[in-house]
């Protein structure tokens, strides 16, 4: 194995509670740069520790249940580990810490490497360290442990799924789309530099509309995902979709800012008749489901947005950052009580009535690109810069987007999948039963009419399925 990054000691075991307490030391340092391994609060990390403790290199008779069931090739399939660790490790709680971060005096005394000797490490009182209570789903996960067991590990924290049985009915199964739709397939024309820019469900969820940057439009019946319209909304400059509130009437206009004169020219299409029509001008770049709240970029130079005036409220500026932090993506919850704003790296939750930030996640991602909210705002789907390491694909440092699901109550990413494409747009159906992503290849077919719509159904594999085979 490579140089150990962590040292591990078993402090206590409670088989009845399915709990083990670990002490984890950081045993690898770059003292010149004052760096050390990250805090390992990840289920996959502890799942791997449990497997290591099951003595996978001992004889078959001496191995614990985890090592008997899972070979090293499986455990080194880190994508599999991230997806399945939650089936073995149900909960983690960090209960104590010490020397985090080291003081200047401690850095002077620390060495770069520490090695395990007879279950101990030199300068243990000096090392960065944490105590964890770890709950497992089956007693067999901890059957091979005893207090005082200690070993060094080259394992590193990952980004394991942590969703639960409670979450499952409300979040999309990102393992495989329930349906794939290729809007450009079979169509005639020159599709060079063409890609799907936006997707939006009608208010009743009966239809999904998609458009390109320059105004090609598709409409699908979501009952069977048949194409009910393929047309052109004129020659647009950044075509923007918006349904007329409560009506199966789609509008498309060009990008605008608050200081632009309105109403601007707008194209409208009645899905029922399949014909162009006229409709009230649809203000804004995004609206709440009831149409009451709408937002448009302002000219303040900070990448911010304003909420439009209503019959009872004035125009309101969203002071989401107080500095340069341009909004990259946005989504209303279907009940209209929350507006989610993804800035460069920060996630903001805004009350549309007051325009005030009521919650935020600083440093939510290295980059946020797309957002979609579940109907009640309990969950967010986000296309973001990938958290995955090189093991997630042969992309090197230029990986395409990761598609994640956030639980907004505790700011946790509970589900994540490394995509092999970029995610150009996201839409969560008003009934909460489907998530649609516009996927764009990142190879030579980029922006060449190869966009695909992926329809994800809710409810991943039941997490209560026993991880161990019966018998």
Domains of the chain: 6-153 (no CATH), 168-229+292-457 (2.120.10)
Distance separating alpha carbons of residues 100 and 454, to the nearest angstrom: 44
Instruction: Give the model's confidence band at 186: pLDDT under 50 very low, under 70 low, under 90 confident, else very high.
Output: confident
Instruction: Give the model's confidence band at 236: pLDDT under 50 very low, under 70 low, under 90 confident, else very high.
Output: confident
Q: Is the pLDDT of residue 463 over 60?
A: no
179 by DSSP, 3-state: which?
strand
**Sequence-separated (6 or more) residues with CB below 8 Å from residue 416:** 82, 159, 161, 387, 388, 402, 403, 404, 405
pTM for the predicted model, two decimal places: 0.90
Is 415 within 8 Å of 405 (Cβ atoms)? yes
Residue of 91, 102, 82 lying closest to 26 (CA atoms): 102
Where are any strands of DSSP class E within 245-378? 249-253, 267-270, 275-277, 286-287, 294-297, 305-307, 316-317, 329-332, 339-342, 347-351, 356-361, 368-373
Q: Is the pLDDT of residue 103 over 80?
A: yes
Q: Is the pLDDT of residue 448 over 90?
A: no
Beta bridge partners of 14: 19
- pLDDT given at position 107: 97
Q: How far is CA 422 from CA 183, 192, 398, in A?
A: 16, 17, 11
- 1-10, 51-60, 418-427: range with highest mean pLDDT: 418-427
Distance separating alpha carbons of residues 60 and 22, to the nearest angstrom: 25
Is 337 within 8 Å of 377 (Cβ atoms)? yes
């Amino acid at each position: 194995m490579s140089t150990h990054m962590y040292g591990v000691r078993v402090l206590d075991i409670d088989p009845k509670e399915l709990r083990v307490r670990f002490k984890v030391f950081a045993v690898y340092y770059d003292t010149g740069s004052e760096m050390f391994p990250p805090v390992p609060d990840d289920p996959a990390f502890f799942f791997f520790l449990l497997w290591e403790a099951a003595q996978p290199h001992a004889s078959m008779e001496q191995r614990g249940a985890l090592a008997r069931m899972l070979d090293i090739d499986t455990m080194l399939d880190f994508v599999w580990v991230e997806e399945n660790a939650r089936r073995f490790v149900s909960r983690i709680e960090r209960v104590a810490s010490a020397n985090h971060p080291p003081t200047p005096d401690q850095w002077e005394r620390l060495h770069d490497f520490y090695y395990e000797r007879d279950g101990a490490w030199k300068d243990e009182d000096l090392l960065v360290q944490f105590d964890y209570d770890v709950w497992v789903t089956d007693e067999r996960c901890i059957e091979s442990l005893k207090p005082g067991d200690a070993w060094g590990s080259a394992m590193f924290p990952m980004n394991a799924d942590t969703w639960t049985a409670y979450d499952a009915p409300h979040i999309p199964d990102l393992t495989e789309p329930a349906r794939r739709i290729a809007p450009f397939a079979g169509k005639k024309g020159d599709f060079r530099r063409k890609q799907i820019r936006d997707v939006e469900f009608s208010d009743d969820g009966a239809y999904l509309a998609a458009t390109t940057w320059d105004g090609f439009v598709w409409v699908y019946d979501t009952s069977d995902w048949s194409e009910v319209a393929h047309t052109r909304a004129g020659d647009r400059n950044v075509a923007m979709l918006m349904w007329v509130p409560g009506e199966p009437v789609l509008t498309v206009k060009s990008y605008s800012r608050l200081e632009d004169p309105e109403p601007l020219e707008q194209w409208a299409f009645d899905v029922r008749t399949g014909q162009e029509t006229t409709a009230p001008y649809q203000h804004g770049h995004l609206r709440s489901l009831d149409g009451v709240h709408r937002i448009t970029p302002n000219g303040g130079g900070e990448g911010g947005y304003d909420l439009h005036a209503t019959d009872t409220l004035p125009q309101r500026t969203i002071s989401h950052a107080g500095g340069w932090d341009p909004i990259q993506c946005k989504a209303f919850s279907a009940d209209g009580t929350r507006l989610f704003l993804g800035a460069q790296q920060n996630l903001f939750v805004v009350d549309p009535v007051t325009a005030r930030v009521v919650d935020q996640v600083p440093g939510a991602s290295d980059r946020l690109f797309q957002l979609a909210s579940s109907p009640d705002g309990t969950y967010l789907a986000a296309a973001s810069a990938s958290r995955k390491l090189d093991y997630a694909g042969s992309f090197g440092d230029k990986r395409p987007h990761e598609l994640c699901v956030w639980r907004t109550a505790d700011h946790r990413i509970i589900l994540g999948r490394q995509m092999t494409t970029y995610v150009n747009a996201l839409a969560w159906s008003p009934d909460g039963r489907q998530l649609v992503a516009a996927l764009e290849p990142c190879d030579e077919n980029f922006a060449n009419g190869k966009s695909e719509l992926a329809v994800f159904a809710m409810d991943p594999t039941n997490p209560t399925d026993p991880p161990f085979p019966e018998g």
